[in-house]
Amino acid sequence: MPPRALGPFTVSPIGLGCMNICHAYGVAPPPEQAEALLLAALDAGVTHFDTAALYGFGASESIVGQVLAPHRSRFTLASKCGLTHETGDGTVKPGRVIDGRPETIRATCEGSLRRLKTDVIDLYYLHRWDKAVPIEDSVGALAELVRAGKIRAIGLSEVSADTLRRAHAVHPIAALQTEYSLWTRNPEIAVLQACRDLGVSFVAFSPVGRGFLAGALPDVAAVQALPEKDIRRPMPRFAPEHFARNLPLLADYRRLAADAGCTPAQLALAWLLQQGDDILPIPGTRTVEHLHENLGAADVRLSADVLAELDALINPATVSGHRYAEQARREVDTEDFAEK
């Protein structure tokens, strides 16, 4: 599959999300495993690496910097601010905090540059819009970082079409990132079209449904056995009552994968890639084996009939449970479907 545009950059059609290398899905892998994964991705042709100040409260950026800094010219580097545990006045909070004040954005960027061992971050996202701060002010601070040569392009994460347009009026937005997969279709409400209207690249995180579409959780017992700190535990979709309703979707889904000659994870990624050349999935993983499996999706071509079957099988009407718990829902600005 040809490379794709990520704002002003040209990158591999499938990137690597770097949250998994330090936290979120149970116990973090050992450093040597994370290093092997990053180098394997680079050697396999991945040229889009996505991290954030939030991930492990700087741990992901530190690992990416330590491992990939010697190869900095070979890839496009994306990171994020506005959602971390440090504020612009040097205060460290016990947990994560949404802070989009210009002084915090500037301070977070300086920390990211140090951890990533680079002079400039290619694509720097506002990880969450701080609704106490006008989006124009936060994007204005990011624009100052562009002018200062500390970042090259600006991105937004988990915002609505209206917020994207307000931000884009202040400074061109290169990319918008939000969750998008067969079982999370929120971008199709409005923001995906807004991106296309404005020429903004769309980066899709959690493209295999946080493991569900890869078949990583075969039954309710597997969900109940997730580690205590696994971020899926509070998500309604993974609650036993909802998960039990979602499991029957997998039988026909696996059949479609087998008919297409690919794995379930590859089917999810191939579906996403065929939704438009402006869509760039960034699956995360901890193993080189899964990395190569995910990248193999770029070679999968799905017929119009298979695409139609997938759309009919897994969609907002057939998936049970919201993607986020109530607090997380309040933190994002994305359009949402009505409660079922």
Residue 93 in tokens = 């909070």
Tell me if 226 sits within 8 A of 232, measured CB to CB: yes
* DSSP letter assigned to residue 217: -
* DSSP letter assigned to residue 29: P
pLDDT at residue 5, rounded to an integer: 98
The dihedral over CA atoms of 7, 8, 14, 16, expressed in degrees to the nearest 10, equals -90
> What angle do helix axes 264-273 and 288-295 make, rounded to 10 degrees?
40
**How many CB atoms neighbour CB 114 within 10 A?**
13
Rounded-to-integer distance, Cα 73 and Cα 75, Å: 6
Rounded-to-integer distance, Cα 220 and Cα 21, Å: 25
pLDDT at residue 340, rounded to an integer: 47
Q: Which domains does the chain have, with CATH numbers?
A: 9-210+264-300 (3.20.20.100)
121 closest CA partner among 61, 167, 169: 61
Output the CA angle 337-247-159, nearest 5 degrees: 30
Map tokens 């931000």 to a residue: 167
Which alpha helices (H) appear in the chain, and where do they start and end?
A: 31-43, 59-68, 102-116, 135-147, 161-170, 191-198, 220-224, 240-246, 249-260, 264-273, 288-295, 304-313, 326-331
Rounded-to-integer distance, Cα 19 and Cα 28, Å: 10
Tell me if 181 sits within 8 A of 207, measured CB to CB: yes
Tell me if 217 sits within 8 A of 211, measured CB to CB: yes
Per-residue pLDDT of the chain (340 residues; tens, 9 = 90+): 899 999 999 999 999 999 999 978 878 889 999 999 999 999 999 999 999 999 999 999 999 999 999 999 999 999 999 998 766 566 666 678 899 999 999 999 999 999 999 999 999 999 999 999 999 999 999 999 999 999 999 999 999 999 999 999 999 999 999 999 999 999 999 999 999 999 999 999 999 999 999 999 999 999 999 998 899 999 999 999 999 999 999 999 999 999 999 999 999 999 999 999 999 999 999 999 999 999 999 999 999 999 999 999 999 999 999 999 999 999 999 999 975 4
pLDDT at residue 25, rounded to an integer: 87
Rounded-to-integer distance, Cα 40 and Cα 186, Å: 32
pLDDT at residue 183, rounded to an integer: 96
Residues annotated catalytic, as ranges: 55
Instruction: Name beta bridge partners: 92.
Output: 86
Pairing verdict, β 92-98 and 121-126 = unpaired
